[in-house]
Each structure stands twice: as structure tokens, then as C-alpha cells.
């Protein structure tokens, strides 16, 4: 019997159109997918809070196996980037798959082996002690269902153990949260004093958005909202401060989701996650129904600059009740900085840049020993550009010079842009003294 016949006897054939999401990061799952045709993009929540493609999965490969082995949530979002077909193997059929298709079983075991080794290396880089790994880790060979399942389960336990070590070493300090009671005034009052409405509407083509059904993690209300379809977007520019500009869609207007009932706000990548709430969000009713003329946009694909700005302030307000993660605060503030900069609103842009810089600095201090070198470089670059935007050219220069140290030994092409930016900053510093 061929592998195809084995797979179709154990699982279900499923087709995906281009740009169709299979599952989202942190979803629960009890099945794995073996690719028969097409290509899938594997995206994770990146350093700046937008999806980042970490891999492409093609014919003959598979994904989703970890949720079967150790019941863990999905570690990434998987989306088809071409018309594709897969065989879906449910958890109850996994043992039969290992028994009937030894080649596939060996592939899964090798993937788990590489994952264990890479996680161990991350623990080692963090300065923590690596737990003792199975002595047979270097020899991956399928023998029988029982021993193979035992090996995979043991590796999954070790990976979980090592991930816990990494979490402990990077757990951020909880920031001071608001403790004072607030009234139930409409969310428009979140806008800063002196705010002048821009009244600029952004009209986007539906091809860049998908209408998604979501459930608020607080009030449990289900509603629909438009979410960017990243696999259909073309990147036209990436700035040094981390901003990515896409052709045909202003992504900043579609980052946040706001519950139509209780007004809890979060990014579309984080919205559905249940969190321990220190205070229940106090904005009741629809904050857009008020004398200021805002209209709800949950099912509307036309957003205004004012609605987007308001959503970020509401997001920050909700974060103060639900999260102490400085990176999430930093990402919200830097997006406000980008929006205000686009509107040439210098004072508000400067204030947003200052807040973003402060939170990124806290995050950098807390995670100095655990960030990978490429993330350190990205973080330093963002801090450098925020410092430059605030006129703090000496600080900006320090961040870029730190990048040269981190990238010591890299190819010349990889550090050319850093050296160019250093020279520009030196000229700016000299200009300050003239």
C-alpha cells in the first residue's frame, strides 16, 4: 500500500484556497496536517507585533504535530499561499500513522529532535542550565509505535521544561498599574487634550481584508470584524524604526479589535486570548455612539485616522489592566507615533515616540541576556531611530554602535547600512554644536 493510500485511509482530504488560514497562533488543536499539494506560510507574532513568516511548508512536509503529541496550543499561524491540499490526521489516528508509515514517523521524530536541540541551545545562550536530554537524541530511528510514542512524549516534556526555563528567565516585571477608579465616560475622552480631529477616511479594497468572527475574552460576546490578510499584501517599504508599509492597505488602521459590547481592545493577534484581569474594563456600551460623531466599525472596512488613534489609546488603557508586558505597550505607542507623524502632528508624535522609547528600553533591560542577536540588533535600531526622532542623537549613536559590536564578524554587506547611519548621526551631532 502506498503512503498516499495509507494517509487517505487514516485521515481526511481537505482543500485550501490561496490566502486561507488553517489555524491561528495559540489556537487549541487535536490534529496534524500532511501537505499533498501547495505551499503554506508559517507566521509568528513578531518582535513588533505583526506577523513574521518563519517558514514555508511544501509538498511532502507536515505541520501541527506538536498539538497531537503534547496537547500544546498552536505555536504559529499557518496560511495557504497557493491552492493546496492536505491530509488531516486526528489525534486518535496518530498511533496508526506511526505504525503504517514508518518514513513519516521518522520525519516527525527528527523534527522533534531538532526542536529539542534548538530549544536547548536557546537555554544555553540565556545562561541557564540545560536539563539532561535523552542519551538517544542523536539517533532517531523508528522502531515500533509504543517506543516511538514514548520517545516523542519524552522530547515534548523536555521541550516544555526548557521553554519554562526560558520563560522564567525572561518574565518581565509587572509595571505599575492604575489603581484609581474611573467613571463610565465614553472612550472618546481617552483622546489627549488639544486633540484635533483629522477626519481622514481610509478606503481599502476587500481583497486585503477578511471578515472574521471573534469572541471577546471578557464579555464573551461574538461579533465580526475586518482583519488584514497578510498573505495577500505586498510590502513596499520597511523603515529603520520597524514600520512596514504595504501597497493598498494602511495596516495601522486595522491592528486593533474593539469589542462592540464592553469595549475591551487588543491587537488582532492577541484579542482572543483569555487573560487574568486585574480590573474589568470599565467602558460600557458602544463608545462610538456619542456627540463626537464616531460610528462603530466592527463590520466596516472603512476606517478613519481618528478611529485608529482612539483604538490605540483604548488598547493602552486595557493593557494597564491586563498586562505588564512592556513590549506590548511599546508597540502600541510606536504605532501612535507613526500615525501622528503621517499627519504631521509633531507634538503628539513626539509624546508617542517618548513613551515608545521608554517601554522599549524597559523591555531591553529585562531581556538583555535572552534576546537573540538579530532581535538585539532590531531593538537597538528601533531605539536608535526613536532617539533620533526625539533629537537625542548621542543616544541614537550609542545604539547603532552597540549593533556594530553585536554584528562583529558578520559579512560587510550586513553592517554597511549601520555604518552609513552612524556617519549620518555623527553629522547631526556635529551640527548641534555649530
Give DSSP secondary structure letters for 28-58. Answer: ---EEEEEEESEEEEEEE-TTSSEEEEEEEE
Counts for the chain of helices (H) and strands (E), in that order: 11, 16
pLDDT of residue 336: 96
> Is the dihedral angle over the CA atoms 154, 155, 159, 160 positive or is it negative?
negative
Q: Residue 130: CB partners within 8 Å, gap ≥ 6?
A: 120, 123, 124, 162
Q: Show the CA angle centred on residue 173, arms to residues 170 and 177, nearest 5°.
A: 145
CB 23 within 8 A of CB 77: yes
pLDDT of residue 84: 94
CB 84 within 8 A of CB 15: yes
DSSP summary character for residue 243: -
pLDDT of residue 68: 85
CB 37 within 8 A of CB 84: yes
pLDDT of residue 90: 92
Residue 347: alpha-carbon gap to chain centroid? 29
pLDDT of residue 138: 60
Give which of 357, 367, 295, 303 is closest to 331, Cα–Cα.
357
Q: Residue 37: CB partners within 8 Å, gap ≥ 6?
A: 59, 83, 84, 85
pLDDT of residue 361: 94
The CA-atom distances, in angstroms, between 243 and each of 139, 342, 382 are 44, 12, 9
CA distance 195 to 207: 33
Query: Structural domain boundaries of the chain?
Result: 3-170, 187-343, 371-434
CB 261 within 8 A of CB 235: no
CB 325 within 8 A of CB 315: no
pLDDT of residue 432: 59
Each residue's pLDDT expressed in tens, for the chain with a length of 434 residues? 567 788 888 899 999 988 788 987 777 888 999 999 999 988 876 666 677 777 788 988 889 888 888 777 787 889 898 899 999 999 999 888 888 888 888 888 887 888 788 888 877 876 778 888 776 666 566 678 888 888 888 888 888 788 767 655 444 443 343 333 344 444 456 778 888 888 887 776 778 888 877 888 777 788 888 888 777 778 888 889 989 888 888 889 988 888 877 778 888 878 876 555 544 555 444 443 334 445 456 566 778 888 889 889 888 888 887 777 899 999 999 999 999 999 999 999 999 999 999 999 999 988 877 777 888 899 999 999 999 999 999 999 999 999 999 888 777 777 888 889 999 999 888 875 54
Q: Which three cell numbers stand for residue 47?
A: 518582535
pLDDT of residue 175: 39
Give which of 213, 312, 324 is closest to 275, Cα–Cα.
324
CB 254 within 8 A of CB 268: yes
CA distance 93 to 15: 20
Whose grid coordinates read 487535536? Answer: 30
CA distance 152 to 374: 30
CB 25 within 8 A of CB 64: no
Tell me the three-class secondary structure of 262-319, residue by residue.
Answer: CCCEEECCCCCCCCCCCCCCCCCCCCCCCCCCCCCCCCCCEEEHHHHHHHHHHHHHHH
Does the pTM surpass 0.85? The reply is: no
pLDDT of residue 139: 59
Q: Which three cell numbers stand for residue 108?
A: 516527525
Distance between start and end Cα atoms, the chain:
81
Buried-exposed string 327-365: b where 16+ CB fall within 10 A, e elsewhere: bbbbbbbbbbbbbbbeeebeebbbbbbebbbebbbbbbe
Domain 3-170: CATH superfamily is Jelly Rolls (2.60.120.10)
Give which of 263, 238, 196, 275 is closest to 26, Cα–Cα.
275
Amino acid at each position: 500500500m502506498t503512503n498516499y493510500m495509507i494517509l487517505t485511509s487514516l485521515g481526511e482530504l481537505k482543500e485550501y484556497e490561496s490566502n486561507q488560514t488553517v489555524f491561528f497562533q495559540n489556537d487549541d488543536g487535536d490534529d496534524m496536517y500532511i501537505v499533498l499539494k501547495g505551499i503554506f506560510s508559517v507566521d509568528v507574532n513578531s518582535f513588533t507585533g505583526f506577523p513574521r513568516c518563519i517558514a514555508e511548508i511544501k509538498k511532502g512536509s507536515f505541520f501541527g504535530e506538536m498539538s497531537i503529541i503534547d496537547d500544546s496550543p498552536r505555536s504559529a499561524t499557518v496560511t495557504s499561499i497557493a491552492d493546496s491540499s492536505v491530509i488531516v490526521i486526528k489525534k486518535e489516528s496518530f498511533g496508526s500513522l506511526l505504525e503504517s508509515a514508518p518514513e513519516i514517523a521518522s520525519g516527525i521524530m527528527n523534527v522533534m529532535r531538532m526542536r529539542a536541540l534548538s530549544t536547548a541551545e536557546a537555554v544555553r545562550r540565556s545562561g541557564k542550565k540545560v536539563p539532561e536530554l535523552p542519551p538517544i537524541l542523536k539517533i532517531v530511528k523508528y522502531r515500533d509505535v509504543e517506543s516511538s510514542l514514548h520517545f516523542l512524549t519524552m522530547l515534548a516534556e523536555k521541550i516544555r521544561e526548557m521553554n519554562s526555563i526560558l520563560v522564567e528567565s525572561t518574565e518581565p516585571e509587572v509595571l505599575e498599574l492604575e489603581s484609581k477608579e474611573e467613571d463610565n465616560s465614553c472612550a472618546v475622552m481617552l483622546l489627549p487634550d488639544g486633540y484635533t480631529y483629522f477626519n481622514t477616511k481610509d478606503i481599502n479594497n476587500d481583497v486585503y481584508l477578511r471578515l472574521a468572527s471573534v469572541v471577546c475574552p471578557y464579555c464573551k460576546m461574538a461579533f465580526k470584524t475586518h482583519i488584514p490578510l497578510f498573505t495577500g499584501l505586498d510590502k513596499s517599504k520597511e523603515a529603520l524604526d520597524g514600520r512596514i508599509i504595504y501597497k493598498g492597505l494602511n495596516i495601522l488602521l486595522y491592528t486593533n479589535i474593539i469589542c462592540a459590547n464592553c469595549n475591551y481592545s487588543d491587537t488582532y493577534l492577541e484579542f482572543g486570548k483569555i487573560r487574568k484581569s486585574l480590573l474589568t474594563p470599565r467602558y460600557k456600551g458602544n463608545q462610538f455612539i456619542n456627540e463626537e460623531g464616531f460610528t462603530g466599525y466592527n463590520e466596516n472596512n472603512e476606517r478613519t485616522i481618528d478611529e485608529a488613534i482612539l483604538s490605540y489609546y483604548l488598547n493602552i488603557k486595557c493593557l494597564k489592566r491586563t498586562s505588564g508586558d512592556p513590549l506590548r505597550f511599546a508597540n502600541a505607542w510606536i504605532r501612535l507615533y507613526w500615525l501622528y507623524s503621517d499627519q504631521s502632528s509633531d507634538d503628539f508624535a513626539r509624546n508617542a515616540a517618548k513613551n515608545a522609547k521608554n517601554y522599549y528600553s524597559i523591555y531591553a533591560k529585562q531581556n538583555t541576556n535572552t534576546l537573540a542577536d538579530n532581535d538585539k540588533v532590531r531593538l537597538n535600531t528601533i531605539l536608535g531611530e526613536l532617539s533620533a526622532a526625539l533629537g537625542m542623537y548621542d543616544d541614537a549613536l550609542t545604539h547603532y554602535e552597540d549593533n556594530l559590536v553585536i554584528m562583529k564578524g558578520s559579512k560587510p554587506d550586513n553592517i554597511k547600512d549601520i555604518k552609513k547611519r552612524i556617519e549620518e548621526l555623527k553629522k547631526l551631532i556635529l551640527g548641534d554644536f555649530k
